């Protein structure tokens, strides 16, 4: 009887140890490759950051497009956005993107002397999209080779 229990415990332990494990390096590499594509997409906003208040709507539209475009669309392509890429390529879900502008040079008198870069909570805008309204992105999206993205 004891031999049967020992055999069952050994079988149980071998089953647990044979369970598939998540390859962390592979997952990190997958997300990193999507992140690189996301960074390339964000270059569309490069010249706009110097006048952030004036260009805020354009910057947010570009970042939303690069981050969340077609995030829930079953026909999405990996190149549509960061969210679509990590969902299709990595099997992960993204629930929002964060836009954070850091001041490069400030002319205000602050506790830290008013200069340098600093993380300010007032410049933080958190973007979480519940539905995917493609009309917001059309004005600022680069659709030269993605003509099938518009579902008008």
| Residue 135 belongs to some domain of the structure | yes
Tally of residues, the chain: 152
The two tokens of residue 135 are 């009309």
Classify 104 as helix, strand or coil: coil
Identify which has the larger pLDDT, 140 or 83: 83
* DSSP structural state of residue 108: S
Q: Is the pLDDT of residue 57 over 80?
A: yes
Residue at token pair 């709507």: 57
What pLDDT, on the 0 to 100 scale, is given for residue 12?
Answer: 54
Q: What is the mean pLDDT of residues 116-140?
A: 40
Mean pLDDT lowest among 44-48, 51-55, 122-126: 122-126
What pLDDT, on the 0 to 100 scale, is given for residue 29?
Answer: 84
| Residue 4 belongs to some domain of the structure | no
| Number of domain units in the chain | 1
pTM (predicted TM-score): 0.50
| Residue 126 belongs to some domain of the structure | yes
Are 94 and 82 spatial neighbours (Cβ–Cβ below 8 Å)?
Answer: yes
Q: Which domain holds residue 109?
A: 25-142
| Residue 14 belongs to some domain of the structure | no
Mean pLDDT lowest among 24-28, 52-56, 74-78: 24-28
Closest to 145 in 3D by CA, of 97, 79, 99 = 79
Q: What are phi and psi of 143, to 5 degrees?
A: -110, 30
């Amino acid at each position: 009887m004891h031999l049967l229990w020992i055999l069952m415990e050994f079988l149980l332990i071998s089953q647990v140890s044979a369970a598939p494990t998540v390859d962390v390096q592979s997952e990190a590499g997958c997300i990193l490759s999507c992140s690189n594509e996301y960074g390339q997409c964000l270059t569309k906003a490069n010249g706009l950051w110097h006048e952030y208040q004036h260009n805020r709507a354009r910057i947010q539209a570009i970042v939303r497009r690069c981050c969340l475009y077609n995030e829930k669309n079953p026909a999405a392509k990996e190149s549509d956005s960061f969210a679509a890429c990590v969902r299709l390529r990595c099997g992960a879900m993204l629930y929002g993107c964060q836009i954070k502008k850091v001041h490069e040079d400030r002319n205000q008198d602050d506790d830290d002397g008013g200069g340098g870069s600093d993380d300010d909570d007032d410049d933080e805008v958190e973007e979480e999209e519940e539905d995917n309204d493609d009309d917001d992105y059309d004005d600022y999206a680069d659709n030269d080779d993605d003509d099938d993205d518009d579902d008008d």
